[in-house]
Structure 1
Amino acid sequence: MDKQLLIAFNQKFQDFLATYAQLEKNQHVIKGAIPLNTAEVHTLVSIAQNQPINLVGLSKVRGISRSAVTQMVSRLESKGLLIKVPNESNRQEMLLSLTRAGQKIYQVHQKQHAYLEKKVMAVLQAYPQDFLANLEAMMADLEKIWKGLPWLSR
Structure 2
Amino acid sequence: MRDFDDVTPLFLTLGAVLTKFARIERRPVDFGLDVTLYPAEVHMLSALELSGGAGVTGLASSCGVTKGAVSQMVKRLAAKGLVAREPDEPRGRVVLTPLGKAVSQAHFEFHKAHDKDFLDYLRGLPDRDFAVCQEMCRRMKAWMEAYPE
TM-score (norm 1): 0.60
Alpha carbons 1:25, 1:38 under 8 Å: kept: no
Assess, with a 3 A threshold, how the Cα gap between structure 1 residues 98 and 25 changes in structure 2: closer, same or farther.
Answer: farther
AA in 1 matched with 2:79:
S
RMSD over equivalenced CA pairs, Å: 4.3
Task: For residue 54 of structure 1, report the CA deviation from its aligned partner.
Answer: 1.0
Q: How does 1:5-154 map to 2 (within 5 A)?
A: 22=20, 25=23, 29-87=30-88, 91-122=89-120
% of aligned pairs identical? 25
CA separation in 2, counterparts of 1:94 and 1:47?
Answer: 14
Alignment partners' CA distance in 2, 1:95 and 1:113: 27
Moved over 3 A (4+): 14-29, 121-127
Structure 2: runs of 5 or more not aligned: 1-11, 126-146
How many Å separate the matches in 1 of 2:17 and 2:48?
A: 29
With over 3 angstroms needed to count, the CA separation of the structure-2 counterparts of 1:99 and 1:123, relative to structure 1, is same
Mark the CA change 1:100 to 1:64 in structure 2 (over 3 Å): closer, same or farther: same
Change (3 A) 1:15 1:71: same
- Gap change, CA 1:153 and 1:69, over 3 Å in 2: closer
| Larger Rg belongs to | 1
Structure 1 CA distance for aligned equivalents of residues 61 and 84 of structure 2:
19
Q: What letter corresponds to residue 44 of structure 1 in structure 2? A: L
